[in-house]
Chain A
Amino acid sequence: MSNLSAEGGHGAVPLQGVPTGEGVTPPEPEWPLWEVFVRGKRGLNHVHVGSLHAADDRMALLHARDVYTRRNEGVSIWVVRADAITASSPDEKDPMFAPSGDKVYRHPTFYDIPDNVPHM
Chain B
Amino acid sequence: MTLTETARGPAPDAELERHFEATIARNDRIEPRDWMPEGYRKTLVRQIAQHAHSEIIGMQPEGNWITRAPSLRRKAILLAKVQDEAGHGLYLYSAAETLGVSRLELTELLLAGRQKYSSIFNYPTLSYADVGTIGWLVDGAAICNQVPLCRTSYGPYGRAMIRVCKEESFHQRQGYELLATMMRGTDEQRAMVQESVDRFWWPALMMFGPPDADSPNTAQSMAWGIKRNTNDELRQKFVDMSVPQAEALGVTFPDPELRWNEERGHHDFGQPDWEEFMEGVKGNGPCNAQRMAHRRRAHEDGAWVREAATAYAAKQRKATA
Contact with A along B284-310 (1 / 0, CB 8 A): 000000000000000000010011011
Contact with A along B223-255 (1 / 0, CB 8 A): 000110001001000000000000000000000
The CA-CA distance from A31 to B310 in the complex, in Å, is 7
What is the chain B residue whose CB lies nearest that of A73? Answer: B163
* Contact yes or no, A1 B234, CB < 8 A: no
Contacts of B218 in A (CB 8 A): 5
Select the stretch in B98-106, B125-133, B190-198 that faces chain A.
B98-106
* Chain B interface residue bracket vs A: 35 or more
Contact with B along A49-75 (1 / 0, CB 8 A): 111110110010000001100110000
* Contact yes or no, B106 A21, CB < 8 A: yes
The CA-CA distance from A16 to B83 in the complex, in Å, is 30
* Contact yes or no, B105 A26, CB < 8 A: yes
Asked if B172 CB lies within 8 Å of chain A CBs, one says no
**B193 to chain A: closest CB distance in Å?**
22
Interface of B is mostly: helix
Asked if A99 CB lies within 8 Å of chain B CBs, one says no
Contacts of A50 in B (CB 8 A): 91, 94-95, 156, 159-160
Contact with B along A9-26 (1 / 0, CB 8 A): 111111110111110101
The CA-CA distance from A49 to B162 in the complex, in Å, is 11
What is the chain A residue whose CB lies nearest that of B87? Answer: A67
* Contact yes or no, A18 B115, CB < 8 A: yes
Interface size on A, residues (CB 8 A): 46
Could you count the A-B residue pairs with CB atoms below 8 Å apart for me: how many are there? 204
Interface of A is mostly: loop
The CA-CA distance from A12 to B92 in the complex, in Å, is 16
Contacts of B19 in A (CB 8 A): 91
Which of A14, A20, A29, A90 is B101 in contact with, Cβ under 8 Å?
Answer: A20
Asked if B50 CB lies within 8 Å of chain A CBs, one says yes
What is the chain B residue whose CB lies nearest that of A23? Answer: B105
Asked if A87 CB lies within 8 Å of chain B CBs, one says yes
The CA-CA distance from A119 to B227 in the complex, in Å, is 48
The CA-CA distance from A30 to B182 in the complex, in Å, is 46
* Contact yes or no, A7 B33, CB < 8 A: no
Contacts of A16 in B (CB 8 A): 217
* Contact yes or no, A18 B50, CB < 8 A: yes
Asked if A118 CB lies within 8 Å of chain B CBs, one says no
